[in-house]
Structure 1
Amino acid sequence: MAKSDDCVHILQGLLVFGNVVIGMCGIALTAECIYFVSNPHGVYPLLKATENNDIYAAAWIGIFVGLALFALSILGIIGVIKASRTLLLVYIILMLITFAFEMASCITAATHRDSLTPEVFLKQMLERYQKSEPANNNDNEVTKTWDELMLQNHCCGVLGPSDWQEYTSAFRLTHSDADYPWPRKCCVLDAQGLPVNLDGCKLGVPGYYNSNGCYDAISGPVNTHAWGVAWFGFAILCWTFCVLLGTMFYWSGIEY
Structure 2
Amino acid sequence: MVEGGMKCVKYLIFFFNFIFVISGIALVTLGAVIKGYYNKYLDFLGDGVVGAPILLIIVGVVIFFVAFMGCCGAIRESYCMTMTFAVLLALIFILELAAGITAYVLRDDIRTTLNTNMQATMQNYGKDDYDGVTKTWDGVQMELDCCGISNYTNWANTSFGSDGDRVPDTCCLIFSTGCGAGVAVLPQSEAAQTIHTAGCLYKLEEEMKENIVAVGGAGVGVAFLQILGVILACCLSKSIKKEYETV
Asked whether the two chains share a fold, i.e. TM above 0.5, the reply is: yes
Q: Distance in 1 between matches of 2:125 and 2:55?
A: 37
- Count of aligned positions: 239
Q: Distance in 2 between matches of 1:128 and 1:32?
A: 28
Give TM-score, length-normalised by structure 1: 0.80
Q: Note the C-alpha offset of 1:225.
A: 1.9
Counterpart of 1:58? 52
Alignment RMSD (CA, Å): 2.8
Q: Note the C-alpha offset of 1:120.
A: 4.0
Q: How does 1:140-155 map to 2 (within 5 A)?
A: 140-155=131-146
Counterpart of 1:176? 162
Q: Distance in 2 between matches of 1:200 and 1:57?
A: 38
Q: Identify if the C-alpha distance between structure 1 residues 215 and 41 changes in structure 2 by more than 3 Å, giving closer, same or farther.
A: farther
Secondary structure of the corresponding residue to residue 240 of structure 2: coil
The answer (yes or no) to whether the contact 1:187–1:198 under 8 Å persists in 2 is no
Q: Identify if the C-alpha distance between structure 1 residues 126 and 74 changes in structure 2 by more than 3 Å, giving closer, same or farther.
A: closer
Q: Distance in 2 between matches of 1:238 and 1:54?
A: 23
Q: Can you list the C-alpha shifts for 1:44-93, whole angstroms capped at 9, x where unaligned?
A: 2210xxxx231221211111111111111111112112221011122122
Identify the match of residue 186 of structure 1 among 160, 171, 177. 171
The answer (yes or no) to whether the contact 2:165–2:181 under 8 Å persists in 1 is no
State the AA in 1 paired with 2:71.
I
Identify the match of residue 89 of structure 2 among 95, 120, 128. 95
Q: Can you list the C-alpha shifts for 1:117-142, whole angstroms capped at 9, x where unaligned?
A: 1x5433433333243998xx6x5533
State the AA in 1 paired with 2:225.
W
Counterpart of 2:114? 121
Q: Distance in 1 between matches of 2:135 and 2:5?
A: 63
Q: Distance in 2 between matches of 1:110 and 1:215?
A: 19
Counterpart of 2:229? 243
Secondary structure of the corresponding residue to residue 15 of structure 1: helix
Q: Which stretch of structure 1 is more off in the superposition, 92-101 or 79-88?
A: 92-101
Counterpart of 1:229? 215
Q: Can you list the C-alpha shifts for 1:133-157, whole angstroms capped at 9, x where unaligned?
A: 98xx6x5533331122223332111
Counterpart of 1:67? 61
Percent of paired sites with the same residue: 21
Secondary structure of the corresponding residue to residue 158 of structure 1: coil
Q: Distance in 2 between matches of 1:108 and 1:25?
A: 20
The answer (yes or no) to whether the contact 2:152–2:197 under 8 Å persists in 1 is yes
Structure 2 unpaired stretches of 5+: none
- Post-superposition, which runs of at least 4 consecutive aligned residues in structure 1 deviate over 4 A? 181-184, 197-202
Q: Distance in 2 between matches of 1:126 and 1:59?
A: 25
Q: Note the C-alpha offset of 1:112.
A: 0.8
Secondary structure of the corresponding residue to residue 156 of structure 1: coil
